[in-house]
Chain A
Amino acid sequence: MTPRPRRISKAWLFVAPALAVFSAFALLPILQALRLSFFRWGGARPEAAWRGLGNYAEAFGDGVFWRAVLHNLLLAAASIMVQIPLALFLAVLLAAPLRGRWIFRTAYFAPMVLPTAVIAIFWSYALDANGGLALPLARLLGASGEGLLGEARTAFATVFAVISWRYVGFHMVILLAGVLAVPGELYEAAALDGAGALARFRHVTLPGVRGALAVSALLSVVGSIKYFDLVYILTAGGPDHATELGATWIYTTGIAEGQRWGYGSALAVLLLALAMAAAVPALLARQRREVAA
């Protein structure tokens, strides 16, 4: 038993530097946000003052924030109902024996490696109210002179389309791995049983990619609740909060315009709680399934 303490200390030396940097710049700030959320503090009030649950009480009456949270949830639902089916469709098309599969896969995933700022600026031109590429579509949808992003009626759907442009390929890669992992014999057996393409998809492919679908859905939900940069650059949450998300509103009230650090922290904690409420049960369910399997 005597050599054990030495080994313990040695292993900690390997881990401690990483742990220290992660704690100082990622973990402790989260705890700090929790503490800050109980204070009235900000650019206009340089002296921090205890406010108890006041920030949270105010947050519950903050219509813009709840509208933003609703947008986060809408984004998550739309991602699951639009991006993932489209990604699965492409994955199934790519899963068949196909010359040049890697070229398609490489191109579909490429938007994931481009800087968000670059993507946002490109789309701001494509969707521009005057010279935009999407003008015919805008006219078709009856957009006024403000363009698809400038009008409250169409802005959210337009932002969602741009986000989808970036993430469909990402989900496609996850799902393609799932589709390719389905044993070919299952398809042959189903074909022998007289199952058509649609039946094979329903009874062989779909059950086979359940795990990958669950992962994609979870990443969509968590990602949608955290989403910030593309929307911030494209619309800054406007027009008239039509594309406001939790994170853009936190930035506006807590940092940029409002400089209300305490209140902004309370909103951030609420958004974090929402993300965890979505992710933790899903992760636990996954773990339970794995244990059972």
Chain B
Amino acid sequence: MSPRARFAGVVRYAVLALFFALAAYPVLWMVSTGLKGAREAAGDWWGPPGALQWSNFAEVWKDGGYLAAFLNSLAVSASAVVATVALAAPAGYALARLRFRGSRGVFLLFLAGMMVPVHVTLIPLLRLFDRTGLYDTLAGLAAVYTAFNLPVAVVLFAAFFREVPREVEEAAALDGCGAWGTFRLIALPLARPAVVGVVVLTLVNVWNEFALALVLLRDKQTLPLVVQNLRGEYGGEVHLVAAALAIAVVPPLVVYALAQRHLVRGLTAGAVKG
């Protein structure tokens, strides 16, 4: 390698490492500051921790409000994920496989639905929730999350089922399987990658969602609502705020670590679909 090429390689790595540090630093800070003692954290927000005070995480975790919000987020995410998969998989299958009048229109509706701006629906949803008793309920919020995650899920499922070879399904049909049987017994088991993709995408979307929760909940809180108030809640106790932030990022980062490819594809689905 010529000296010039080697120099270019070093510069390249240096630039990439700089942006790496920029991207990774906040999470690193949450963990390291979350390990500081109260006095140390108050004195210096940014230095590395001295003695590691692991009890901060337990203290935040056991805080009634935080734990309740964490469990609420878990419940809402789980329900929305199950509902999204249960509704989107058959719809995606039908749009990919069963030609029917209006199928193109339905597909375009879901495609356009990927771009529905949440802010337009906030006031009508608030009125609807007030009237129907869904206001401040986790079930109501989960239903709205399902609705907003359905379009991309349907599009992803439809794209997947279009790629699956038809032969197996045709054989099943010859054996007397109806459309539903073929879907349940043949197509769906093959669609594991699509299911995983929709699950992780919906999970992360719902876990992180803020605006709808802000408007549609009051006494019940999801994690982002509690996180938003952490600075007010803990006052100057930076170490506790940092510990609380660190706990909140665990679920999405674990999902990201386990299913990176699926998650990236889902979040950039608008781009892939074009």
Contacts and interface: CB of A to CB of B under 8 A. Distances in A.
Contacts of A123: 26
Given A21-B147, A107-B24, A121-B230, A113 B94 contact: no
Interface stretch (A59-67, A90-98, A185-193): A90-98
B227 A117 contact: yes
A24 interface: yes
A116 B208 contact: yes
A15 B94 contact: yes
Given A15-B95, A116-B210, A30 B120 contact: yes
B120 A255 contact: no
Interface stretch (A145-153, A199-207, A243-251): A243-251
B223 A115 contact: yes
Given A22-B147, A110-B256, A10 B98 contact: yes
Q: How large is the interface on A (under 10, 10 to 19, 20 to 34, 35 or more residues)?
A: 35 or more
Contacts of A255: 122-123, 126, 215
Contacts of B199: none
A80 interface: no
Name the prevailing secondary structure of the B interface residues. helix
Contact of B100 (A7, A174, A219, A286): A7
A113 B123 contact: no
B146 A33 contact: no
Interface in B78-123: 83, 87-88, 90-91, 93-95, 98-101, 103, 106, 109-110, 113, 115-123
B52 interface: no
B22 A165 contact: yes
Interface in A253-269: 254-255, 261, 264-265, 268-269
A279 B115 contact: yes
A29 B113 CA distance: 13
A34 B202 CA distance: 28
A18 B253 contact: no
Contacts of B7: none
A242 interface: no
A50 interface: no
B148 interface: yes
Contacts, number: 259
Nearest to A111: B23
A49 interface: no
Contacts of A211: 274
B231 A124 contact: yes
B235 interface: no
Contact of A108 (B20, B118, B123, B248): B20
A113 B204 contact: yes
Interface in B117-157: 117-128, 143-144, 146-148, 150-151, 154
B150 A115 contact: no
B23 A108 contact: yes
Interface of A: 7-8, 10-15, 17-19, 21-22, 24-30, 32-33, 36, 90, 93-94, 96, 98, 103-104, 106-126, 128, 131, 133, 165, 169-170, 173-174, 211-212, 215-216, 219, 222, 225-226, 228-229, 232-233, 246-247, 250-251, 254-255, 261, 264-265, 268-269, 271-272, 275, 279, 286, 290
